[in-house]
Structure 1
């Protein structure tokens, strides 16, 4: 690990950071990634010990992580379409983006999960009852089977469940505040955030409960629930909605913020949308996961956006 001398873009956005701050932000990204290599842990501790300024810079990063709320660069961009900010403002802005945007929180580590995938990885696991789970990138889940219940907790990410029929022991997937229950069926759960969990049914039906509310969802339908309520079922094409299983991401009039959250499961580093209006804008895209390295180029060609590389691990996306 270490700073890449070629990471700045044409706007020299990241170049306004002093070298130690660059290293501190990059180390913070590395240590809070989906998986942290032992070598990176050792190198990080050595970096902290090497210079008191390293420890001070990293402490500032952690402080901003826990307390920052507003992003100065966004305010500046509203006043002028140019990105001219000080080193200190940029340092705070980058970390505020991590906190305020919520993108990094969604990728918190779950060290006690039974099954995990790294960014860009797909994996199929067979559970104790012979049900299978296809896991998308950056996904973590746990299974807790008893004599009367088959409970799977989806901690983060997306997974497709092919459930072995067993009428005496329901199969339940818990994600955020909701539970999706099936006996023998095939369905997908996409956990973007606690307020954005999407369930898609490919075969038969499931029942979904959030608090006192519940809903039945049949094959060829999809709904989204949040912490407090369940959305209205919508008819969809499962083949398109679940294209990630075949190596494609297909977004049909989806909010750009949701698209970016999905893309973050499949590429190294984090993309963050800067601005609520841009995050809410509906977009239609088809992404080939075999060419994940071209995702940024695809976005820039298809949409009126500006991509700014802050570090190799953090990229900000602005409205053009």
Structure 2
């Protein structure tokens, strides 16, 4: 028979869930919730069980939202949409934040080139030599598998994140870079940036020339050009401003006439937790902004002040903007 206190914990966990998803939770409520989760492992586990139940009810919640939209109940629709995001912000961030921090530290160990894996944590950047004549600049939250052949590094596979690869003019052996389902072939002296995020891969050429081989087709990428591809296909090369596109190398993020939703999605790669926009109109607003990586801790407040948004701060660095 289960101990009685488990039922009490489950009851309190569901009460917290209802409050955190009501749209009225305050910063003080979030701090109280975090303290409750930290009081005992049973509290954190109870909330994890509540979260699992909520996720299982996801399709039902979506149906409810559709019915409310059909009936014209705009306010109720807003509450349903926010409830799921607010819950994820409060529950996931606060109840398992300690576990995620430990997991992040474990994954970062052995991140020097060992023929296996290179990783950077959220907010971390790193420069290193991956092979003779090949240097690498890794951006935040990046995961790279190192390819070896005959005991020598012959290439890499960018599984997640972003990096700049430079191949010295004097390197004799080929170095193949895989990005998603594409393969990059470059001549000695080439330099290029690769990115894999949000189900889209991009290749940006800094110097020399790089060729993307994908699905049997070859697409050349010339300096100051960028090519994007995903499951829908590969795009044509487009001109880009390298100073803007690669400003992260100077610990700066520059956004030029981009939707705020896209800006926030990119910013989330550089900070713990997550910023979630719950208002579609706000997310569609065009943004001209410049942030330094040192501002990531206060970036939600900066957006709130600049665009008149309302911010609800939750534990673990989660912020709801509406």
Aligned to 1:290: 294
Deviation at 1:82, TM superposition (A): 10
* CA–CA distance in structure 2, aligned partners of residues 268 and 316 of structure 1: 14
1:128 aligns with 2:131: yes
RMSD: 4.1
Deviation at 1:145, TM superposition (A): 2.6
Deviation at 1:97, TM superposition (A): 11
Deviations 1:71-109 (A, max 9, x none): 789979971299767xxx84685239999xxxxxxxx97
1:145 aligns with 2:135: no
* CA–CA distance in structure 2, aligned partners of residues 199 and 68 of structure 1: 36
1:119 aligns with 2:112: no
1:59 aligns with 2:49: yes
1:80 aligns with 2:85: no
* CA–CA distance in structure 1, aligned partners of residues 239 and 90 of structure 2: 35
CA distance 1:58–1:188, shift in 2 (3 Å)? same
CA distance 1:292–1:165, shift in 2 (3 Å)? same
Q: Which runs of 5+ in 2 are unaligned?
A: 1-19, 93-102, 111-115
* CA–CA distance in structure 2, aligned partners of residues 191 and 122 of structure 1: 16
* CA–CA distance in structure 1, aligned partners of residues 214 and 73 of structure 2: 38
* CA–CA distance in structure 1, aligned partners of residues 312 and 164 of structure 2: 33
* CA–CA distance in structure 2, aligned partners of residues 92 and 305 of structure 1: 17
Deviation at 1:221, TM superposition (A): 0.9
* CA–CA distance in structure 1, aligned partners of residues 299 and 182 of structure 2: 32
Aligned to 2:265: 261
Q: Which has the higher helix share?
A: 2
Q: Which runs of 5+ in 1 are unaligned?
A: 1-7, 28-42, 100-107
Deviation at 1:275, TM superposition (A): 5.5
SS at match of 2:302: helix
Count of residues in Structure 1 that have an aligned counterpart in Structure 2: 275
Aligned to 2:193: 188
CA distance 1:96–1:312, shift in 2 (3 Å)? closer
Deviations 1:165-184 (A, max 9, x none): 47764323223233333233
Aligned to 1:13: 25
Deviation at 1:223, TM superposition (A): 2.1
Aligned to 1:232: 236
Deviation at 1:229, TM superposition (A): 0.9
- The two structures have a TM-score, normalised by structure 2, of 0.69
CA distance 1:59–1:191, shift in 2 (3 Å)? same
Deviations 1:225-252 (A, max 9, x none): 1123111211122112100101110112
CA distance 1:176–1:80, shift in 2 (3 Å)? same
Aligned to 2:8: none
Contact 1:274–1:316 at 8 Å: present in 2 too?
yes
* CA–CA distance in structure 1, aligned partners of residues 247 and 30 of structure 2: 42
* CA–CA distance in structure 2, aligned partners of residues 258 and 98 of structure 1: 24
Of residues 303, 306, 315 in structure 2, which corresponds to 1:311? 315
1:212 aligns with 2:216: yes
Deviation at 1:282, TM superposition (A): 3.9
- The two structures have a TM-score, normalised by structure 1, of 0.69
